[in-house]
A = this chain, B = another copy of it.
């Protein structure tokens, strides 16, 4: 189950209202969405891949993924990840009561697909056998303050090798705390990649998130709906749906959460700076995603050019040319790209959003 709902505002102007972050071609020549689909196909049977997305991107996703329309669950409104995940679980359970789901955000970058698929398979066995909600925990490689962390608990048991209980979810820490986490070895990055059976998730939703549980009432019991009937059903669900992240609504409250610690390279590609890190931008080393770098002495820049780009005396900068709009930002300031988007929204500039 690929979650393709995020807007990716911090990747403006490459990511736009009509072509959000999953469509960025930053995964070794593929889009993030194509890479997510490729990862899913490593372990999921053909025809077992679902996508959840918003109405404004459904057509683009249908064309890009070539999935049959009924496999694309179109949210009538944006209600954060708890509703997206729980709705999808409830929907799928109606026709497949024993379904085990892996939730893959469409905007992550994971170069080692085989290691990823192996981890998902192992997590799926625990999810199916023990009814656990398994979240992948990435071994930190730096004291990152932009990620949430999982405090790892005891081993889940000899039947589930590698799996651990989760003691606590930790919000994005400050630098000192992140450094302690890295040294201590008991904390993992919370990647937001989950594996669970649909019934286990919905059991925990009922226990931990009553508002969410109520919203899903129209999907209770078996059934198959398509087209307008499906849209009507979803519209009823979303009318009173709470807007919460799945971590906050369910994972942090449930006692059934386990983690599978993994060590493969992973990035949620959160900002131009983190993408630059992923691509190997470093002092003296500029990376170019498109276009041609005509001149650059300083290096340490990320260039997405569409054309020839020359840099003189600038370093640690991202130059992003989206055709109609050009962004030049210091990489260290790139989390604030959101503020540009907010300012443009406030001025009603939908033409450049």
Write the residues of chain A forming the contact surface with B, with a CB cutoff of 8 angstroms: 13, 294-295, 305, 307-314, 317, 319, 321, 323-330, 332-334, 336-337, 340, 343-344, 349, 352
Which residue of chain B is the closest to A323 with respect to CB atoms? B307
B328-A309 in contact (CB<8A): yes
B309-A329 in contact (CB<8A): no
Chain B residues positioned under 8 Å from A311 (CB to CB): 327-329
Once the chains are docked, how many angstroms separate the CA of A323 from the CA of B307?
Answer: 8
Assembly stoichiometry (copies): 2
B314-A330 in contact (CB<8A): yes
| Known interface pairs A317-B328, A319-B326, A328-B314; A343-B295 also in contact (CB < 8 Å) | yes
Q: A66 to chain B: closest CB distance in Å? A: 33
| Known interface pairs A294-B344, A295-B344, A352-B294; A308-B330 also in contact (CB < 8 Å) | no
Could you show 26 A-B contacts with beta carbons less than 8 Å apart? A294-B325, A294-B349, A294-B352, A295-B344, A305-B326, A307-B326, A308-B324, A308-B325, A308-B352, A309-B325, A309-B327, A310-B326, A310-B327, A310-B340, A311-B328, A312-B327, A312-B330, A312-B333, A312-B334, A312-B336, A312-B337, A312-B340, A313-B333, A314-B329, A319-B326, A319-B328
A325-B313 in contact (CB<8A): no
B325-A307 in contact (CB<8A): yes
Chain B residues positioned under 8 Å from A313 (CB to CB): 329-330, 332-333, 336
Residue from A13, A313, A344, A349 having most chain B Cβ neighbours under 10 A: A313
Chain B residues positioned under 8 Å from A321 (CB to CB): 326
Once the chains are docked, how many angstroms separate the CA of A312 from the CA of B334?
Answer: 8
Pick the residue among B295, B312, B330, B340 that contacts A294 (CB under 8 A): B340
Once the chains are docked, how many angstroms separate the CA of A233 from the CA of B330?
Answer: 57
B309-A326 in contact (CB<8A): yes
